[in-house]
Amino acid sequence: METSHKLAIFFDLDDTLYDHLVPFKEAVREVLRPDENCLDFAELFYKVRHHSDVLWPMYLSGEIPLEETRVRRLELAFAEYGLQIDRDQASAVQAAYIGRQYTIQMIDGVREHLERFIADGHKVGIITNGPKDHQMNKIVGLGLDQIIPEDMIFISDAVGLAKPDPEIFVHVNQKTGTLAENSLYIGDTWANDVVGALAAGWKVCWYNPRGRQPATDHKPSYIFTNYKEFGKLPFV
């Protein structure tokens, strides 16, 4: 993966650097003991992520508190999937889910790429939506704080801007002294990551391990399904 110039390379966190589905699946199993022959965890979790993204602006504006946002997204996602859970069950799943999110592992191949990019002189960082302490606990749990400097980590609640607003990418360029045309974002979520970064003039690598279809006519610069493929992408 040869580059003709130095890049600013930023990664999403959840479901890009580690598999967000693992702690969710374990939490649902523990609390609900579902019939797994009738449950597609990946599809259910996709709905959870969707409702989280829809509710997030309400949380940011102060309309609903954080815990209500987290529990309501579960209620909405399960209902859309065709499974009814009550408030107590949703709260229990959320508690079990949070409890597992700090003992997580990077996806195979991620560390090697991060270390290589840094060794090659590229600026490497993270842009993630979420509460500051919660996201930092995951970053520490993954050991990413030992690889990526604190001033290259941008968390929506700390910044006051959230994806897909392109202004968060503009803010990152301003704070890191980088240019949009030399910036690359790697993320898994179509609306937040692909659409948001493209709107800011960045190149985008869409990490799509589960074969999702594009939701709009936007065109990612690159698409990959695993980090072995990622290592072969012809960045320019």
In contact, 142 and 18? CB cutoff 8 Å:
yes
In contact, 27 and 44? CB cutoff 8 Å:
no
Query: What's the pLDDT band for 234 if we cut at 50, 70, 90?
Result: confident
Among the CATH numbers 1.10.3470, 3.30.420, 1.10.150, 3.40.50, which is that of 21-100?
1.10.150
Would you tell me how many other CB atoms lie within 10 Å of the CB of residue 121? 10
Domain ranges of the chain: 8-18+105-230, 21-100
Query: What's the pLDDT band for 5 if we cut at 50, 70, 90?
Result: confident
- 8-18+105-230 CATH fold: Rossmann fold (3.40.50)
3-class DSSP state of 153: strand
Is pLDDT above 70 for 2? Answer: no
Average pLDDT, the chain: 94
Give the predicted TM-score (pTM) of the model. 0.90
Reply yes or no: is the peptide bond before residue 164 cis, omega within 30 of 0: yes
